[in-house]
Structure 1
């Protein structure tokens, strides 16, 4: 084998063999690629773990059934189902004969209210303190009591007091209407508000269902 002296080395070094020695370390490309791949894998695992933690804390376990819309269980009966009210034509105030009773502890309400209703065209038969079954027992603004034959008249009377309710007493045969002023009463409705209430009273909304479906919470695993 020949003795070679690389150029530029000034003959100070003698090397055996038929190739020149490397003057610098070879690049460790394999290690660099491996390190990059490892970094990508670590970052991917970290991201996947963070995503799983996010689902856990948000109540999502990845199950499509758990993420589906809640199912409805059988209906739960309400305490007092709202009876259905039929639409009906209401009479004009002149066609309503009413009694105005004060079921509160405030004095003078029956007379002042009766006078105003008379000015609005209603026929007031009498006014005074409420009968014993209703005296100081009406908590809403007013309770309208009438028999089946005076239901339309009772609805018309109810339009004059916001928040009032109508009670049909099946034992009554007359066509008069009793307006019981309750503790929540402040004043009669304005003519404009009474006109709006008249539309609703003549065409009441559908009755509420007797039971309300209760949604089932998503299952947990």
Structure 2
């Protein structure tokens, strides 16, 4: 072969590596970098829209979630003392002397005693419960509450009276008053704050 490509025997033509392999390598590297940047950017966007800071997010959630309030319990300061409650004691049973003995026991416990005697025809031998507490509507959450701690199984009724006195009408199931210790425990249970409800996840 002659001319420019004539082989003389003392030199060889220089061959270059194909350039397409280098291009493939550079293209693959670029794609990996691009994917990495895209993933990082996605995480940043997620942090922006979800709050990013977990402690701040939790604080915001806690601030938005309403805190349940414990139910209100009767206040001991709002209840009258036994001495401030005037009790009329009436016997609606066939047992004689029951009203008198009951009135004496209530007096020992600090209550003010009013009338003592037999019940009216409306209630005489017509009270199947332990007793009926009868008074003005204002006695429902005050005098009835205090007097009710002395005796279990009472029925509360109101009438049109304007005075603050309360009628205790003893019935067929009456046996005895609660012990002073039981009455004190009952009063403490009434004035004890209700336990706070479990926090809700909202």
Change (3 A) 1:196 1:168: farther
Does residue 182 in structure 1 map to residue 171 in structure 2? Answer: yes
TM-score computed with the length of structure 2 as normaliser:
0.54
> Secondary structure at the residue paired with 1:111?
helix
Deviation digits for residues 95-131 of structure 1 (CA, Å, limit 9, x no counterpart): 1101000010110100000011111110001110011
Aligned to 2:126: 137
> Secondary structure at the residue paired with 1:128?
strand
Shift of 1:200: 4.7
Shift of 1:183: 0.4
Aligned to 2:145: 155
- Contact 1:90/1:202 (<8 A) preserved: no
> Secondary structure at the residue paired with 1:138?
coil
Aligned to 1:165: 155
Change (3 A) 1:168 1:87: farther
Output the CA distance in 1 between the equivalents of 2:107 and 2:99: 12
Q: How many matched pairs?
A: 120
Output the CA distance in 2 between the equivalents of 1:200 and 1:160: 13
Does residue 110 in structure 1 map to residue 99 in structure 2? Answer: yes
Change (3 A) 1:202 1:139: farther
- Contact 1:102/1:181 (<8 A) preserved: yes
Point out the structure with the larger strand share.
Answer: 1
Unmatched 5+ residue regions in structure 2? 1-72, 195-202
Deviation digits for residues 55-93 of structure 1 (CA, Å, limit 9, x no counterpart): xxxxxxxxxxxxxxxxxxxxxxxxxxxxxxx84532111
Deviation digits for residues 9-59 of structure 1 (CA, Å, limit 9, x no counterpart): xxxxxxxxxxxxxxxxxxxxxxxxxxxxxxxxxxxxxxxxxxxxxxxxxxx
Output the CA distance in 2 between the equivalents of 1:175 and 1:91: 11
* Structure 1 outlier segments of 4+, above 6 Å: none
TM-score computed with the length of structure 1 as normaliser:
0.50
- Contact 1:139/1:182 (<8 A) preserved: yes
Alignment of 1:36-115 (within 5 A): 87=74, 89-115=78-104
Aligned to 1:57: none
Shift of 1:165: 2.3
Change (3 A) 1:108 1:134: same
